[in-house]
Chain A
């Protein structure tokens, strides 16, 4: 029964959170944003005390049920593990306490030191977000684009197509590596990652030792058949000594169903009974395969996104290149580079949601996988503040349009050598025309000659660093006006 409830809840949660991470339309976060915000580490970083308290309480009452039904990475590993049909493949093993706590210490240290890359690498929810964003979202978008093509054929505007592009190679590699490592670990040993590396698992495991409800073995009924041990994906049952390591038990309920003698119970242990082992089980047909189905459904569908562009009389457009920015730009709401580094776990939710293709994971070693901005494909449009709405960790705190419009995240810099007014001898002014804060003025290139060509001059006190000028600048591959980030955001 416990197992069935767990699987049902896990399925629902997995579906919702995956959908949230796949979505690019901005429709889901209003309804589903909470599934990211109840994740433990994001809640801690966001100082979301209500959620943290609730999760602590949950764990103190029910054990590490969080790891089974809320953490998407945990559910993902269960899914992989259940695909391995080899029966009775687990065995109880001792806790690798030094490793668990060692990683936890390292993690906390990195967190305090603001080394975002280490945090991002270890945080479970973020690891999952990264995998979905890098490995699954492309297929989701391709499928969407297939639908968009069909919709276009029928003059429907229900779907619109999006471009799929590699936002950051290092992050992609990390995502692939994480995926492979986790699949191997889960396939072979179930919850190995959760019980040796995952810092959240370690913290919750510590609490779970004292949980009110827990799995325990009734020594009177136990026949020491070892089935429970052999089916415990957390390898936490020592059937010989009738002991369950509650710090590693994720309350999945598998052992309860396996036991043929009714020796395993979930509940508050009776005074004396406490921890002792038991018995034999029956094989269990893992039905969770359908979960895989759900996750992979989006995968097939459209590969037919051929670029059918009749470029008869169109001039070729050179792709823009990322300029060298002395200071990276972080999104409005992130307050400062430091705040971002200390709070972001690199889950990629904001990157997945950014409708203007501005956000992408950083490739810098210290802030690896945390979002930075660049304007080759679009700019930070005034009507959008979606990243700040979805961020579960408070790395990008929620801001309204008005606040965004007055938040200076950087400032524009004019590069004379690139400007088409100089290079092509044409009149332009596209940067000034599109500047949403009116920070760009067109002035004669020769201050003494009012008839000389007009070039942009930036009023830094009004520039918010949105990148409209950079994106819309006709100079290619490097724009003649680009944005330098500010370490500390300011209000203008």
Chain B
């Protein structure tokens, strides 16, 4: 059992890195655990040890681990519902994992009308309604992806539908979904939430007690974040909580990932100033911090051989005291168990460990991976490019330290082959980066604000350079164009 779980854990790390949320079926281990047998095992999270944080507005005792219902398991277990939008969600597995989470102290569940092609709320409702209402807090959102839902009527319908799907009479945490996005973040914010009076509607629901906490999640344009907090300062609205992206890479290096991003350090400080609790999303940066480049992973494991690479990222996010809960989209039982272990109870990072992670982060930035976490919001590309698949392949080779960039490397030839063959396997020929025409239609959909066309063109140049070399004739004089951008 022990051995098996370890295997699964490492597989899990791999899977997360791919952003697949899991290509493998870990059925035997899951079945074994679900029967409730107790094992003398370091992998088995203890009951009753969860760390809680108190929400100053309502006094809610919120578990530090929050369950993100975005990547629900599917029946065939080949991928989460995120990856395969049409696959049937495995409700039985959802129920089992929710039960297990609640049993181990998790009480915050985060969903949205947009997740899993709109099925997440429904499934979450089924799973949670089997428990007492006071045992869990539910967070959902007024989503904004489809402009057709931006009218007042459609927005109110969306909110009421959330109550219905979730089988509840009140929402504990309601968020304006991903403000700051779009081509013009400010304009979109106003059109979506202000001009149609929907924010006022939500404030009214809040005073009626149908919404217990009102907040927003933020990606993108910093002006919108500042604007929303200024509204708070002026008393136009009271934000009970704010959901931000925070992890040890985004803390100081968000700009190095993309110059339009904002460091989490700033976002968090702004919230602390106002005593607004922070809900943390992307603690693993879309899985990238669970699967680090080999040398970095080795550094973490050497320092703490008994805990997963991912656990460092969770401890990091949890160490900040104003963090209310840290969300994790846990597709498989082993994701859940690993995170439960990390937070039952949380062992905060020491100053020394914080410094250590900061060192890891600055090294990680130098790997030049594309900060894509495979969310697929950019898709479909009208010209057929498989954008995330290209980035995932490229990042994978870079972070496994397998990219062919040094022609003096004795393994250069085999790395080159692996990169090119792997590229053709990962991405159909007609969907590869060289077909990107740079129309830029994808760019405004990217929550990480990646300059998608220019990244694709860089990768295309890199691939072109590799293809032009004659295998086995690796000359010593190389221009490592794309890799050292």
Question: Are chains A and B native binding partners rather than an unrelated pairing?
Answer: yes
Binding site for B on A (CB under 8 A): 152, 157, 160-161, 309-310, 312-317, 377-378, 381-383, 420, 424, 426-430, 433-434, 472, 474
- Identify whether the interface residues of B are mostly helix, strand, loop, or mixed: loop
Asked if B85 and A430 make an inter-chain contact with CB atoms under 8 angstroms apart, the answer reads no
For chain B, residues 412 to 471, give those with C-beta under 8 angstroms from any C-beta of chain A. Answer: 414, 417-418, 421-422, 424-425, 428-431, 434-441, 457, 464, 467-470
A381-B467 contact, Cβ under 8 Å, with A309-B428, A430-B437? yes
Q: Bound complex: CA of A140 vs CA of B457, how far in Å?
A: 35
Asked if B457 and A433 make an inter-chain contact with CB atoms under 8 angstroms apart, the answer reads yes
A312-B437 contact, Cβ under 8 Å, with A157-B422, A383-B469? no
Q: Is B382 an interface residue (CB 8 A)?
A: yes
Supply 21 A–B pairs (Cβ within 8 Å), ascending by A: A157-B422, A161-B425, A309-B428, A310-B83, A312-B83, A312-B86, A313-B85, A315-B383, A315-B384, A317-B430, A381-B467, A383-B470, A420-B437, A420-B439, A426-B439, A427-B437, A429-B437, A429-B438, A433-B438, A433-B457, A434-B434
Distance from A119 Cβ to chain B, minimum over Cβ atoms (Å): 34
Residue in A316, A383, A427, A433 whose CB lies within 8 Å of B467: A383
Asked if A314 and B384 make an inter-chain contact with CB atoms under 8 angstroms apart, the answer reads yes
Q: Bound complex: CA of A289 vs CA of B437, how far in Å?
A: 56
Q: Bound complex: CA of A314 vs CA of B376, how far in Å?
A: 10
Asked if A313 and B379 make an inter-chain contact with CB atoms under 8 angstroms apart, the answer reads yes
Chain A residue with the shortest CB-CB distance to B470: A383
**Contacting residues, chain B, for A420 (C-beta < 8 A):** 437, 439
Closest 9 CB pairs of A and B: A313-B379, A426-B439, A428-B437, A317-B384, A315-B380, A157-B421, A430-B437, A157-B418, A160-B421
**Contacting residues, chain A, for B422 (C-beta < 8 A):** 157
For chain B, residues 361 to 383, give those with C-beta under 8 angstroms from any C-beta of chain A. Answer: 376, 379-383
Asked if A472 and B434 make an inter-chain contact with CB atoms under 8 angstroms apart, the answer reads yes
Chain A residue with the shortest CB-CB distance to B86: A312
Asked if B441 and A426 make an inter-chain contact with CB atoms under 8 angstroms apart, the answer reads yes
Q: Bound complex: CA of A309 vs CA of B428, how far in Å?
A: 9
Distance from A427 Cβ to chain B, minimum over Cβ atoms (Å): 6
Distance from B332 Cβ to chain A, minimum over Cβ atoms (Å): 19
Asked if B376 and A313 make an inter-chain contact with CB atoms under 8 angstroms apart, the answer reads yes
Q: Bound complex: CA of A430 vs CA of B417, how far in Å?
A: 26
A430-B438 contact, Cβ under 8 Å, with A314-B384, A316-B384, A317-B431? yes
**Contacting residues, chain A, for B435 (C-beta < 8 A):** 430, 472, 474
- Extra contacts, 10 of them, besides A157-B414, A474-B383 (Cβ < 8 A), are A152-B425, A157-B421, A312-B86, A313-B85, A378-B429, A381-B467, A426-B437, A426-B441, A427-B440, A474-B437
Q: Bound complex: CA of A472 vs CA of B79, how far in Å?
A: 32
Asked if B84 and A310 make an inter-chain contact with CB atoms under 8 angstroms apart, the answer reads yes
Q: Bound complex: CA of A310 vs CA of B380, how far in Å?
A: 13
Distance from B21 Cβ to chain A, minimum over Cβ atoms (Å): 13
A430-B436 contact, Cβ under 8 Å, with A157-B422, A383-B467? yes
Asked if B85 and A312 make an inter-chain contact with CB atoms under 8 angstroms apart, the answer reads yes
Binding site for A on B (CB under 8 A): 79, 83-86, 376, 379-384, 386, 414, 417-418, 421-422, 424-425, 428-431, 434-441, 457, 464, 467-470
Distance from A296 Cβ to chain B, minimum over Cβ atoms (Å): 28
Asked if B468 and A383 make an inter-chain contact with CB atoms under 8 angstroms apart, the answer reads yes
Asked if A382 and B468 make an inter-chain contact with CB atoms under 8 angstroms apart, the answer reads yes
Distance from A5 Cβ to chain B, minimum over Cβ atoms (Å): 37
**Contacting residues, chain B, for A161 (C-beta < 8 A):** 424-425
Chain B residue with the shortest CB-CB distance to A401: B470
Residue in B425, B431, B469 whose CB lies within 8 Å of A160: B425
Q: Bound complex: CA of A430 vs CA of B421, how far in Å?
A: 24
A315-B382 contact, Cβ under 8 Å, with A426-B437, A430-B436, A474-B437? yes
Q: Bound complex: CA of A314 vs CA of B437, how far in Å?
A: 16
Distance from B87 Cβ to chain A, minimum over Cβ atoms (Å): 9
Chain A residue with the shortest CB-CB distance to B416: A157
Residue in B418, B438, B457 whose CB lies within 8 Å of A428: B438
**Contacting residues, chain A, for B457 (C-beta < 8 A):** 433
Chain A residue with the shortest CB-CB distance to B117: A312
Asked if B376 and A428 make an inter-chain contact with CB atoms under 8 angstroms apart, the answer reads no
**Contacting residues, chain A, for B436 (C-beta < 8 A):** 430
Q: Bound complex: CA of A429 vs CA of B437, how far in Å?
A: 7
Distance from A402 Cβ to chain B, minimum over Cβ atoms (Å): 13
Distance from A145 Cβ to chain B, minimum over Cβ atoms (Å): 11
Distance from A151 Cβ to chain B, minimum over Cβ atoms (Å): 9
**Contacting residues, chain B, for A424 (C-beta < 8 A):** 439
Distance from B485 Cβ to chain A, minimum over Cβ atoms (Å): 16
Q: Bound complex: CA of A157 vs CA of B467, how far in Å?
A: 16
Distance from B140 Cβ to chain A, minimum over Cβ atoms (Å): 23
Q: Bound complex: CA of A427 vs CA of B383, how far in Å?
A: 13
Q: Bound complex: CA of A310 vs CA of B382, how far in Å?
A: 17
Q: Bound complex: CA of A317 vs CA of B144, how far in Å?
A: 29
**Contacting residues, chain A, for B381 (C-beta < 8 A):** 314-315
Distance from B79 Cβ to chain A, minimum over Cβ atoms (Å): 8
Distance from A221 Cβ to chain B, minimum over Cβ atoms (Å): 60
Q: Bound complex: CA of A288 vs CA of B160, how far in Å?
A: 80
**Residue of B379, B417, B434, B439 with most chain A CB atoms under a 10 A cut-off:** B439
Chain A residue with the shortest CB-CB distance to B436: A430
**Contacting residues, chain A, for B438 (C-beta < 8 A):** 427-430, 433
Chain A residue with the shortest CB-CB distance to B78: A310
**Contacting residues, chain B, for A426 (C-beta < 8 A):** 437, 439, 441
**Contacting residues, chain B, for A314 (C-beta < 8 A):** 379-381, 384, 386, 431
Q: Bound complex: CA of A378 vs CA of B440, how far in Å?
A: 24
**Contacting residues, chain A, for B469 (C-beta < 8 A):** 383
**Contacting residues, chain A, for B429 (C-beta < 8 A):** 377-378
Distance from A156 Cβ to chain B, minimum over Cβ atoms (Å): 9
Chain B residue with the shortest CB-CB distance to A310: B84
Q: Bound complex: CA of A188 vs CA of B11, how far in Å?
A: 62
Q: Bound complex: CA of A377 vs CA of B430, how far in Å?
A: 8
Distance from A29 Cβ to chain B, minimum over Cβ atoms (Å): 14
Distance from A450 Cβ to chain B, minimum over Cβ atoms (Å): 19
**Contacting residues, chain A, for B439 (C-beta < 8 A):** 420, 424, 426-428
Distance from A373 Cβ to chain B, minimum over Cβ atoms (Å): 18
**Contacting residues, chain B, for A317 (C-beta < 8 A):** 384, 430-431
Chain A residue with the shortest CB-CB distance to B418: A157
**Contacting residues, chain B, for A427 (C-beta < 8 A):** 437-440
Distance from B214 Cβ to chain A, minimum over Cβ atoms (Å): 32
Q: Bound complex: CA of A454 vs CA of B468, how far in Å?
A: 29
Q: Bound complex: CA of A433 vs CA of B436, how far in Å?
A: 10
**Contacting residues, chain B, for A315 (C-beta < 8 A):** 380-384
Q: Bound complex: CA of A255 vs CA of B414, how far in Å?
A: 54
**Contacting residues, chain A, for B424 (C-beta < 8 A):** 160-161
Chain B residue with the shortest CB-CB distance to A431: B437
Chain A residue with the shortest CB-CB distance to B441: A426
Asked if A313 and B434 make an inter-chain contact with CB atoms under 8 angstroms apart, the answer reads no
Distance from B248 Cβ to chain A, minimum over Cβ atoms (Å): 29
Distance from B402 Cβ to chain A, minimum over Cβ atoms (Å): 11
Chain B residue with the shortest CB-CB distance to A382: B468
Chain A residue with the shortest CB-CB distance to B473: A383
Distance from A50 Cβ to chain B, minimum over Cβ atoms (Å): 29
